[in-house]
Structure 1
């Protein structure tokens, strides 16, 4: 083996990301069977429903897992909060994006899993129509607007109308997550910064703002979940304006399929009603039997036990050790930002799993559907077992965030000539073929060798997505 070939092999073995042109192939390679969503974290009673979605409708495991966490979180809202030390409070909100090509099952998965919540929203819509049908505009403005799922709404309306009337919180659903990203600060000249509102929503903090005309808006606890889809080729747009460096975009959970493909459902098949009913019953219990009447209502608490705390502390130490070993400062900062957000999500997942477990147990053991609110305790423990399940989900989302950032990173930093050369290299083109295609045959073989060696050294990530035999 020549010295140059050895250099190629050594370089290839240490890199792992792709250009935009190879984004789909790179994410396929990364996800493959190495990072499968752990559907076993959910209650056993929901497993038949999950199995039907995956096997009969060909929906990726990651879409199912993310959608279930999102649905439970939305139904619970501000009724519960996680506490690590007895005095702090952590909300259960989720921001998420399903990564996949068109017709990969993203929308269908949400339709199936959010169906009970959409039914609740449909009831609110009917009530609003019947209540306001003969009212003047002035009187209509004084009526509370009950909402659970919002799609097309401006931030000022969300702040002034929707959130004050819905202290339990809402889900903002988008067909494409870029609708949410592009809408940030869309009306900033008149309405201050949307981004500050959304940051309050992710953290579950109080939001207050002063508007012209001596108008003050205050929301005690903002709870707004976000969901949308995105195609792999558009991922780089999420990282514009330093959203990766600032950590803003890593508040988003990314669900990637094991294989990027068009889903192939069994035509004409419908999930048995008894399986769908189990899912609907739990979401209805979580929403209706955990009412939140005002923003000042004290939340019930999911208390992290000492054993669970030790477990997540050990998990964090392992992650920190690996992050501190990263030589590149920028990359270390990115990994640290991801770890910080995913650690908080691990607590949220634990709370969501603990509360949903309780709802399932109620569904299967209680004959009184109206006893749920008293059945849900004011203090619900997050045990070691629950934290173990939550950390499985956290590990999945940590890896998808890292993989997506690294795949995007090379595509937005390498010059087009380098990306072209990398694509030829990964397509098994020899040095002289690269010379003909890039330089019209004007370089010698030794010169091409030096050019390629330098390119791999300076832009290793662009060259490492696909291995080939030399």
Structure 2
């Protein structure tokens, strides 16, 4: 699988919404829906089907897909910004909503192919463990004791996580039905050190864990993405233990639908092709090889922005810097600064997701021997035109891999030579996602500082201020009518317990 590296100056104008995106960083728009148009068409089809047939909120299934894609990519790829700055697609995602609003099922759907792979790895581990024990009974000396190489973890300590990560260098994913449990895990040992651990993981900084009666564990390339649900009513838990001050919650992306209500079940079955389609896409990402050197050090494949894509990214960053410099809120400044990291990471996720939706490369369908021949010939051709020392070294490594019959290494060399780039289209789509996450972060921040009304868009804010402290549905409808506020939208809004308390049928009280 290779990324699209073809682009022209016309790409800069491909997405007419880009200028709107960079000029509306702090949006007061009436419609702040999750931008499913940021995904490749086949993934959009999956999101819409999950919404129609399974009643998954688009925000939750869209964000869960981003998490699953991030996890499937792991340490295999990184994106280059400059010679001293690289980012990997690591994400911390929170799905925010009331109880019973379908936070867990979309996440479970998105990671199901990865969980299936973990089950397969567990069966393999059990077989190898039985063989290991048999050899011990026979007085033999097995080389190493088998380890369960899993990807998804739920309940753990930093020490246990480091152990698992040591044997799975590709990367891990924390899957939590209730994200608050992840936060509570911080207090099982030392809260401060646990937070430092997760801050280091987020930034990709080398981590070292000292263990009692065991050797220390050193993870040089940590990759642990996180996703889980959290109820709106307990969002304040995020700010405890200094997490609002040390920038921890600035690193969370919030999927936070507006006017979310409990849906009735669909009477129609979701087409089976949707599950199959998602399995193919996520497995295409999982099939990307993790490259290592002769000493088993990770050598992530580096992708660069094509020049036009980087120009668009810089325009956005300039505008974002202006917004940061203009805001008087330290909290918002911190949030907006982290968006500059996430727009890069999401550009990489979208680019590789796009590649994962394409037809299976020719060589993928070949038997291993034929696949090796195909990859070797293709890699030799890519090495041939360039006679500089770098390419000559690659050619030597290629021949060594051929002599050793190392199919995975030959494939990794071939994919490295293809030189993928992140396109303008992927950057524009990442920017649309980032603007959604900016809006939701503002809402969460407003709730955390006990001023949710300030997080509303302008029309809702004006209507909210016009409403009396207590009011009937009829009163609200009259005020909404005079304010050109849609009746249907008002009725949905009245169900949002972030802003309103229902006293009795048809009677409400403002909470602020």
Same fold (TM over 0.5): yes
| Matching of residues 271-420 of structure 1 within 5 Å | 271-292=270-291, 296-326=297-327, 328=328, 331=329, 333-363=330-360, 366=362, 368-369=364-365, 373=411, 376-377=415-416, 379-410=419-450
Higher relative contact order (CA 8 A, sep 6+): 1
Partner of 1:7: none
Q: Which residue of 1 aligns with 2:406?
A: none
CA distance in 1, matches of 2:262, 2:130: 44
Structure-2 residue corresponding to 1:117: 114
Residue equivalent to 2:475: none
Q: Kindly indicate whether the alpha-carbon contact (under 8 Å) linking 2:166 and 2:217 is maintained by their aligned counterparts in 1.
A: no
Contact 1:358-1:376 within 8 A present in 2 as well: no
Contact 1:31 1:257 in 2 (8 A): no
The alpha carbon displacement at 1:120 in A equals: 0.7
Look up the match of 1:25: none
The Cα shift of 1:131 comes to 2.7
List, as ranges, runs of 4+ consecutive aligned residues in structure 1 with deviation greater than 6 Å: 138-141
What CA distance in whole angstroms lies between the structure 1 residues aligned with 2:30 and 2:59? 12
Q: CA deviation at 1:261?
A: 1.2
Greater mean alpha carbon deviation, residues 288-297 or residues 368-377: 368-377
Matched position secondary structure for 1:245: coil
- Give the Cα–Cα distance (whole angstroms) in 2 for the partners of residues 61 and 401 of structure 1: 17
Report the equivalent of 1:248.
Answer: 248
- Whether the 8 Å contact between 2:69 and 2:282 is mirrored in structure 1 is yes
Question: 1: distance between equivalents of 2:154 and 2:117?
Answer: 15
Match of 2:265 in 1: 265
Q: 1:367 to 1:395 in 2, by over 3 A?
A: same
CA distance in 1, matches of 2:58, 2:316: 24
Question: Is 1:64–2:61 an aligned residue pair?
Answer: yes
Distance in 2 between the 1:261 and 1:31 partners?
Answer: 23
The number of aligned residues is: 388
List runs of 5+ in structure 2 lacking aligned partners.
1-26, 137-141, 376-410, 453-463, 472-498, 501-507
Give the deviation of 1:224 after TM superposition: 0.6
Q: Quick one: distance in 2 between partners of 1:355 and 1:278?
A: 16
Displacement of 1:141: 9.1
Query: 8 Å contact 1:50–1:64 — kept in the other structure?
Result: yes
CA 1:376–1:62 in 2, change beyond 3 Å: closer, same or farther?
farther
Give the secondary structure class of the aligned counterpart of 2:357.
helix
The offset of 1:383, in angstroms, is 1.9
Q: CA deviation at 1:213?
A: 5.9
Q: Quickly say closer, same or farther: Cα 1:355–1:86, change in 2 above 3 A.
A: farther
What is the TM-score when the length of structure 2 is the normalising length?
0.69
Map 1:40-55 → 2, pairs under 5 A: 40-55=37-52
TM-score by length of 1: 0.74
Structure 1 residue 266: deviation in Å? 0.7
Pick one of 150, 154, 163 that aligns with 1:151: 154
Distance of 1:105 and 1:32 partners within structure 2: 26
In structure 2, how many angstroms separate the alpha carbons of the residues matched to 1:362 and 1:377? 20
CA contact 1:80–1:91 (8 Å) conserved in 2 = yes
Contact 1:185 1:195 in 2 (8 A): no
- Are residues 394 and 301 of structure 1, via their aligned partners in 2, closer, same or farther at CA, if it must alter by over 3 Å? same
**Superposed CA offset, 1:128-147 (max 9, x none):** 233335766x9999322201
- Report if aligned partners of 1:286, 1:359 keep a CA contact under 8 Å in 2: yes
In 2, the alpha carbon distance for the partners of 1:31 and 1:75 equals 35
In the alignment, the residues of structure 1 paired with residue 470 and residue 355 of structure 2 have an alpha-carbon distance, to the nearest angstrom, of 58
In structure 2, what is the Cα distance between the partners aligned to 1:342 and 1:129? 43
